[in-house]
C-alpha cells in the first residue's frame, strides 16, 4: 500500500498525528488527546481501518480509549458511500439496537488527514471468514450465532424511509439493480452470456415489492465480528441503502459467502433454519422461499459484478494487487451458481457427468 | 522448438517449491499471499495445458447461429438479454447447453475445486 492516511507506526509523520489528536480533542470536548499506538488493521479491501490507542484528558471519553479510525483506501468501487455518510448510517443502526462499535466522531475536513474519516470504538473479536466457518470450537454455537444474525438483520430493518438523517441513501430495487448491472456489462470488454441470461430471468421474475427498509448490502460472513462465539459487531456499512427486506437475506445465503462450507447455506455457519427463525421472530414477518431465491439470484449477479470490478482495479485502475486482480475469476463461480439455481434439471443432468 | 522443461512443468515445480518449502517459512499474515500466488500459478498451468475449449464454444455458436462470425459470443449475450431465444424451447435448450459448457470449462481451468465441490467433474472426460 503506497499511500496511507496515517503512519504505519508511532514513528511516522508527527504532524498528522498532532492534527488527529487536535481533531479528536475538539470533537470529544477533551482538553487534550494523546495518541499512542497506531496500526493498520487487517481486512478492508476498499477502506482502511486503523487501530488507535488514545488517552483523552477530560470530556466524556476521559481516560484511555481503544478506537478505530476508518477512511478511504487507495481505490474505491462504485456505489460505496463516503465515510461521512457511512458514519450517519452507523449512528442510525446503533440507535436501532444493532450490534456494532459505537460511532463517535466524523471529520470531513481534509486538512486533518487529507481525506474524510470517522472514529468508532474498537471491539474485540475477528471477522475473518474461514476461521469462523471452519473453527470446530464454534460448532455448538453455530445455530445461535445464525439466529442472532437474523435478529440483527430484522433490527436494522426497523430503519425505514423517509429519514432526514439518511436522505442521501440511494433507493435501489430490482429494476435499478438490473439496469446498473447491464450498464456495467455494456462497458466490459468480455461478453458474459450467463449473467445476461440470469438478468433476463430476474427482469421477468421480480416479485411484488415490499415496503423499503435499510439494507446493509454487505451483510455476510466476513463482515461480522465474533469474540469466541459472541457477536460483537456488524461491520462495513459502506454499501447501505434503501431496498427490499429480502435483499440482505439473499446476500448472506449466497454461496459466495460460505467460506469453504458450501453445505451450510446461512453464510457457511449454519443451516438456513436458525437464521430464518431469528429473523422471523424479531421482524414478525414470515420469509417466502421464492422471494429469497429471487434475491439469491440477484446476490450472485451482484457478487459477479463486484468480482469483475475488483479485477478492474488492476485492469483499468492500475492497482498492483494480486488479491484484487484474481478476484474477477470468481465471477464464474457465481455463474455456476446461477445456472444451478435457475436450471436445476440441467445441473442434475451434468452433475458427475 | 522451445527449450525444455516446458513452462507448464516449470510452473508445477515452482508451485511445489512455494507451497512445500517457502510457505512454512513465511509469517502467518503473508500465508494468504503465498496461496494466492500458488493459485495464480495453477491457473496459468491449467490454461497452458488445457484443451482448446474456447474454440469448441465458438464452434457451438457457429452451429447455433448457422454462420461463422468472430463476435458470436457478444451476439449470443445480447440475444439472451433480449429474450430472443425464448420463443423456441429447443433453441432455449441449446442455448442453455452452451451456457453450461462455457461455465464448466472456465471453472475447470479457473477453480476445479469449486466445480468438484458442487458435484461436477473437475476434469474433462467422456461425460457431457
Specify the CATH number for the domain of residue A310: 3.90.1200.10
Question: How many Cβ atoms are within 10 Å of A290's Cβ, its own excluded?
Answer: 10
Q: Same domain, yes or no, for A133 and A29?
A: no
The pLDDT of residue B126 is 45
DSSP letters for A142-190: HHHHHHHHHHHHHHHTT--S--GGGTTS-B--HHHHHHHHHHHHHHSSS
Measure the CA–CA gap between B27 and B24, rounded to whole angstroms: 8
CB count, 10 Å around CB of A96? 15
A5 within domain boundaries: no
What pLDDT was estimated at residue A4? Answer: 41
Q: Are residues A135 and A92 in the same domain?
A: no
Contact A310, A327 (CB under 8 A): yes
A142 and A102 share one domain: no
Q: At a CB cut-off of 8 Å and minimum separation 6, what does A69 contact?
A: A5, A6, A20, A49, A50, A52, A117, A118, A119
- CATH number of the CATH domain containing A53: 3.30.200.20
Q: Tell whether B33 lies on the interface with A, counting CB pairs under 8 A.
A: yes
**Is residue A60 one of the residues assigned to a domain?**
yes
pLDDT on residue A78: 56
List residues in chain A touching B: CB distance below 8 A. 42, 182, 185, 191-194, 196-197, 199-200, 204, 262, 322-323, 326, 329-330, 332-333, 335-337, 339-340, 343, 346-347, 349-353
Can you give the pLDDT at residue B2?
A: 84
| CA atoms of A116 and A84, how far apart (whole Å) | 7
User: Pick from B80, B106, B121: which is nearest to A332 by CB?
Assistant: B106
Residue ranges making up the domain that contains A232 = 129-350
Render pLDDT for A4-22 as a digit per residue (tens, 0 to 9): 445 443 344 678 889 999 9
Higher-confidence residue: B57 or A76?
A: B57
The residue of chain B with its CA nearest to that of A191 is B74
CB spacing of B77 vs A346 below 8 angstroms:
no
Q: Give the mean pLDDT of B93-103.
A: 97
A247 lies in a domain? yes
Q: Using 50 as the pLDDT threshold, list the residues of chain A that sit under it.
A: 1-5, 7-12
In a domain, A342, yes or no: yes
* Domain annotation covers residue A79: yes
Per-residue confidence (pLDDT) for residue A1, from 0 to 100: 30
**Using CA atoms, how far apart are residues B28 and A42, in angstroms rounded to an integer?**
12
In 3-state terms, what secondary structure has residue A140? helix
Residue A144 lies in a domain: yes
B78 interfaces chain A, CB cutoff of 8 Å: yes
Coil, helix or strand at residue A193: helix
How many pairs of residues across A and B have Cβ atoms under 8 Å apart?
Answer: 94
pTM: 0.91
Co-location of A74 and A146 in the same domain: no
Contact A192 B77 (CB under 8 A): yes
What is the Cα gyration radius of chain A?
A: 21
A346 vs B100: CB contact, 8 Å cut-off?
yes
Q: Are residues A98 and A193 in the same domain?
A: no
User: Can you give the pLDDT at residue A244?
Assistant: 98
Of the residues A121, A140, A172, the one at which a domain ends: A121
For residue A313, what pLDDT is reported?
86
> How far is B13 from chain A, CA to nearest CA, in Å?
21
Domain final position from A72, A95, A121: A121
Cross-chain Cβ contact A339/B117 below 8 Å: no
Q: Do A158 and A242 fall within a single domain? A: yes
Tell whether A158 and A236 lie within a shared domain.
yes
Radius of gyration of chain B from its Cα atoms, rounded to whole angstroms: 19
Q: Which grid cell sits at A257? A: 459467502
> Which residue from B32, B78, B103 is facing A194, i.e. has the nearest CB?
B103
Shortest CA distance from B127: residue in chain A = A353
Residue in chain A nearest B76 by alpha carbon: A193
Residue A113 shares a structural domain with residue A161:
no
What residues in A contact B124, CB-CB < 8 Å? none
A2 belongs to a structural domain: no
Q: Note whether A226 and A134 are same-domain residues.
A: yes
- What does the pLDDT read at residue A33? 96
Residues A116 and A206 in one domain: no
> Rounded distance, CA B97 to CA A91, Å?
49
Q: Are residues A83 and A209 in the same domain?
A: no
User: Is A182 close to B74, i.e. CB distance below 8 A?
Assistant: no
**A269 assigned to some structural domain:** yes
How many helical (H) and strand (E) elements, i.e. helices and strands, does chain A have? 13, 9
Question: What is the per-residue pLDDT for A74?
Answer: 62
Is this prediction's ipTM beyond 0.85? yes
Domain boundary among A70, A92, A121: A121
Return the residue matching grid coordinates 488527514.
Answer: A113
Q: What is the residue whose three cell numbers read 488507535?
A: A52
Contact between A332 and B103 using a beta-carbon 8 Å cutoff? yes
Same domain for A145 and A248?
yes
Helices and strands: H and E segment counts in chain B: 6, 0
Alpha carbon distance A206, A169 (integer Å)? 22
DSSP, res A285:
-
Count of the separate structural domains present in chain A: 2
Tell me the three cell numbers of residue A225: 465480528
Amino acid at each position: 500500500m503506497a499511500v496511507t492516511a496515517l503512519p504505519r507506526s508511532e514513528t511516522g509523520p508527527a504532524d498528522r498525528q498532532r492534527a488527529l489528536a487536535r481533531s479528536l480533542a475538539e470533537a470529544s470536548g477533551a482538553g487534550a488527546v494523546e495518541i499512542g499506538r497506531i496500526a493498520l488493521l487487517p481486512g478492508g479491501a476498499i477502506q482502511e481501518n486503523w487501530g488507535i490507542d488514545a488517552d483523552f484528558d477530560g470530556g466524556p471519553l476521559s481516560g484511555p480509549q481503544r478506537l478505530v479510525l476508518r477512511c478511504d483506501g487507495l481505490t474505491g468501487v462504485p456505489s460505496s458511500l463516503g465515510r461521512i455518510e457511512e458514519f450517519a448510517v452507523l449512528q442510525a443502526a446503533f440507535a436501532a439496537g444493532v450490534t456494532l462499535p459505537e460511532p463517535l466522531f466524523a471529520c470531513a475536513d481534509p486538512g486533518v488527514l487529507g481525506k474524510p474519516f470517522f472514529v468508532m470504538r474498537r471491539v474485540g473479536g475477528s471477522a475473518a471468514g474461514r476461521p469462523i466457518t471452519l473453527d470446530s470450537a464454534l460448532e455448538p454455537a453455530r445455530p445461535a450465532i445464525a439466529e442472532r444474525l437474523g435478529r440483527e438483520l430484522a433490527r436494522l430493518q426497523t430503519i425505514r424511509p423517509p429519514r432526514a438523517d439518511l436522505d442521501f441513501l440511494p433507493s435501489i430495487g430490482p429494476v435499478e439493480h438490473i439496469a446498473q448491472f447491464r450498464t456495467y456489462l455494456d462497458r466490459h470488454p468480455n461478453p458474459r452470456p450467463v449473467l445476461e441470461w440470469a438478468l433476463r430471468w430476474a427482469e421477468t421474475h421480480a416479485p411484488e415489492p415490499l415496503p423499503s427498509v435499510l439494507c446493509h448490502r454487505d451483510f455476510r460472513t466476513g463482515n461480522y465480528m465474533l469474540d469466541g462465539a459472541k457477536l460483537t459487531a456488524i461491520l462495513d456499512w459502506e454499501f447501505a441503502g434503501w431496498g427490499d427486506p429480502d435483499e440482505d437475506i439473499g446476500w448472506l445465503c449466497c454461496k459466495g459467502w460460505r467460506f469453504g462450507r458450501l453445505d451450510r447455506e446461512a453464510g457457511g455457519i449454519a443451516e438456513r433454519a436458525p437464521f430464518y427463525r431469528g429473523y422471523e421472530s424479531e421482524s414478525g414477518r414470515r420469509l417466502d422461499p421464492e422471494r429469497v431465491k429471487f434475491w439469491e439470484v440477484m446476490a450472485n449477479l451482484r457478487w459477479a459484478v463486484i468480482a469483475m470490478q475488483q479485477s478492474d482495479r488492476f485492469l483499468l485502475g492500475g492497482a498492483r494487487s494480486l488479491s484484487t486482480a484474481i478476484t474477477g475469476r470468481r465471477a464464474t463461480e457465481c455463474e455456476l451458481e446461477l445456472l444451478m439455481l435457475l436450471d436445476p434439471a440441467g445441473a442434475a443432468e451434468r452433475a458427475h457427468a | 522448438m522451445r527449450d525444455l522443461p516446458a513452462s507448464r512443468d516449470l510452473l508445477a515445480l515452482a508451485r511445489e517449491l512455494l507451497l512445500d518449502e517457502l510457505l512454512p517459512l513465511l509469517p502467518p499474515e503473508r500465508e494468504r499471499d503465498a496461496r494466492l500466488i500458488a493459485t495464480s500459478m495453477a491457473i496459468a498451468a491449467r490454461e497452458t495445458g488445457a484443451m482448446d475449449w474456447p474454440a469448441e464454444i465458438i464452434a457451438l455458436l457457429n452451429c447455433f447461429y448457422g454462420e461463422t462470425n468472430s463476435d458470436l459470443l457478444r451476439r449470443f449475450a445480447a440475444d439472451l438479454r433480449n429474450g430472443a431465444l425464448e420463443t423456441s424451447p429447443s433453441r432455449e435448450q441449446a442455448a442453455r447447453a452452451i451456457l453450461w459448457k462455457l461455465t464448466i470449462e472456465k471453472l475447470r481451468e479457473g477453480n476445479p475445486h469449486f466445480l468438484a465441490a458442487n458435484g461436477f467433474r473437475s476434469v474433462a472426460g467422456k461425460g457431457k
